[in-house]
Amino acid sequence: MDIKKERIRINCSHCENKIVLTYHTERCPKCGQPFDPEQVKSLFHNYESQVMNSKFYQAGEKMGKAGNAMAEVGNSMQSCGCTLTLITIFIIIVLALLL
Return residues touching Zn ion (CB under 5 A).
Answer: 12, 14-15, 28, 30-31
Q: How far is CA 27 from CA 21, 41, 52, in A?
A: 9, 13, 27
CB of 58 to Zn ion, least distance (A): 35
Report the nearest approach of Zn ion to the CB of residue 34 (Å). 10
- Separation CA 99–CA 6 (nearest Å): 31
Query: In the complex with Zn ion, which residue's Cβ is closer, 27 or 41?
Result: 27
- Min separation Cβ 12 and Zn ion, Å: 3
**Shorter beta-carbon distance to Zn ion: residue 66 or 98:** 98
Dihedral angle sign, alpha carbons of residues 60, 61, 62, 63: positive
Nearer Cβ to Zn ion (15/63): 15
Measured from the Cβ of residue 38, the count of other Cβ atoms closer than 10 Å reads 8
